[in-house]
Amino acid sequence: MAREFSRSDRVAAQIQREMADLIRTQIKDPELGMITLSDVELSRDLAVAKLYVSFLAAQLPPNKCIKRLADFVPELRRQLGKRIRIRVLPELRFAYDDSIERGMRMDSLLHGLTHDSDHPAEDSTPE
């Protein structure tokens, strides 16, 4: 019977749990606001972990927030190495997850469509 999840999926899930806790406890930068780790993609060889993050109430634009997070990578990686047992700890790379913004934009578009359909245009053809 084949395994339900590959090793890279299991390691990615463990990294996501541990990194979410580390981000919450180790990063104390008010300009970044609240940081949410939404997903971790791990390369097949387990060498690179891409961490998708979003920011709530950040005072900086997303690209500067990502650069600011990159400054914390050495310490986060060191702490992660203490928490999980893996032969080679993957390189950590942060990426901005804009799915929340896209979802809000889609929601407003759909709300606009339903609002327009509630008030159909007046028929201006003369009878």
Nearest-CA neighbor of 22 among 94, 96, 98, 97? 94
What's the confidence (pLDDT) of residue 117?
A: 65
* Rounded CA separation 80/74 (Å): 10
User: What percentage of the chain carries pLDDT values higher than 70?
Assistant: 87
Domains of the chain: 7-117 (3.30.300.20)
What's the confidence (pLDDT) of residue 74?
A: 95
When pLDDT is averaged across residues 52-57 and rounded to a whole number, the result is 90
Strand, coil or helix: what is 32? helix
When pLDDT is averaged across residues 53-60 and rounded to a whole number, the result is 89
Q: What single-letter DSSP state applies at residue 81?
A: H
What's the confidence (pLDDT) of residue 120?
A: 59
pLDDT score of 1 more than 70 = no
pTM: 0.77
When pLDDT is averaged across residues 11-25 and rounded to a whole number, the result is 94
